[in-house]
């Protein structure tokens, strides 16, 4: 199968090329939408998918708009109906996280989420806030992959809550199955979030906790995404009520005792 995104060398400079998007298929889209509706968690509803040439041009326009606002997104070199060419935007954050000790990993996760929420404070959102869409640029961060279109389907508070939930799900894969890592991230996010976003997170967390209690051991057969979501639910279950002190939790999680 041909890679949809690949890197080329152009006059000594790395360039990333994206081909048109064909999926996700309607069955998977319907499954995700049905699960979000069944659990009554609007932030987990799938976004509208712009396929083929329409999707390439839509992403190019969004990247250009975000770059003008000063966001650390890839510069669009060129776009056609068959490909989108982007300037390199730093090293993917995922391998960086695997290469460092756990305590440093937690610190980096917290920094990345804090950065994402600085964009929220400006009235922005990513739409696909998973760690695979973060890069490391010096001591800061870059962002990738702006294909998903949430604007017609979700209020701003839901879009931003979705970013945080997707970030927490992807961070769960780097937590060594320790819900306290995700718990600390969610506690951080809640303190920084606008009241409407915090309300969306609280509602989603309550429903995830109920779903986890109902499904119980079935989550071990639910695949990586299901297991990550179960760990996020466990984090919500142990999360302190709003206004409770979290400093000790943060310290214990970031620097666990031997």
- Burial category of 158 from C-beta neighbours within 10 Å (exposed 0-12, middle 13-18, buried 19 and up): buried
57 vs 76: CA distance, rounded Å: 11
Look up the pTM and report it. 0.86
Residue 247 pLDDT greater than 60, yes or no: no
Q: Supply the DSSP symbol for 143.
A: E
| pLDDT value, residue 212 | 80
**Residue 85, H or E segment:** strand 84-87
Domain ranges of the chain: 5-254
Q: What pLDDT, in 10s, does the model give residues 101-160?
A: 888 999 999 999 999 999 999 999 998 999 999 999 999 999 999 987 777 778 999 999
Sheet holding 84-87, edge to edge: 5-10, 13-18, 84-87, 76-79
**In the chain, which residue ranges form alpha helices assigned H by DSSP?**
26-39, 52-68, 93-98, 102-121, 156-172, 179-192, 195-215, 223-238, 247-254
Q: Which two tokens stand for residue 155?
A: 């209020």
Confidence of residue 25 (pLDDT cuts 50, 70, 90): low
Helix (H) or strand (E) segment spanning residue 136: strand 134-137
Q: Kindly report, residue by residue over 191-243, the tens digit of the pLDDT.
A: 999 999 999 999 999 999 888 877 666 555 456 777 888 899 999 999 876 66
Host H or E run for residue 76: strand 76-79
């Amino acid at each position: 199968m041909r890679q949809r995104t690949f890197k080329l060398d152009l006059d000594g400079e790395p360039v990333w090329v994206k081909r048109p998007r064909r999926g996700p298929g309607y069955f998977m889209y319907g499954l995700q939408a049905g699960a979000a509706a069944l659990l009554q968690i609007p932030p987990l509803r799938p976004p509208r998918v712009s396929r083929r040439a329409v999707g390439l041009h839509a992403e190019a326009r969004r990247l250009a708009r975000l770059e003008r606002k000063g966001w650390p997104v890839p510069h669009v070199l060129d776009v056609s109906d068959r490909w989108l060419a982007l300037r390199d935007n730093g090293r993917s954050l995922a391998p960086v996280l695997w290469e460092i000790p756990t305590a440093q990993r937690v610190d980096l996760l917290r920094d990345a989420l804090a950065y994402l929420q600085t964009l929220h404070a400006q009235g922005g959102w990513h739409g696909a806030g998973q760690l695979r869409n973060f890069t490391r640029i010096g001591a800061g961060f870059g962002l990738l992959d702006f294909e998903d279109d949430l604007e017609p389907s979700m209020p701003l508070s839901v879009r931003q809550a979705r970013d945080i939930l997707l970030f927490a799900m992807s961070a769960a894969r780097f937590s060594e199955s320790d819900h306290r890592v995700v718990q600390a991230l969610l506690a951080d996010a809640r303190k920084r979030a606008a009241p409407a976003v915090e309300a969306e997170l609280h509602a989603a967390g309550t429903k995830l906790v109920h779903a986890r209690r109902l499904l119980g051991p079935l989550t071990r057969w639910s695949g990586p995404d299901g297991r990550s979501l179960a760990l996020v639910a466990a984090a919500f279950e142990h999360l302190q009520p709003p206004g409770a002190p979290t400093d000790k939790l943060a310290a214990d999680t970031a620097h666990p005792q031997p």
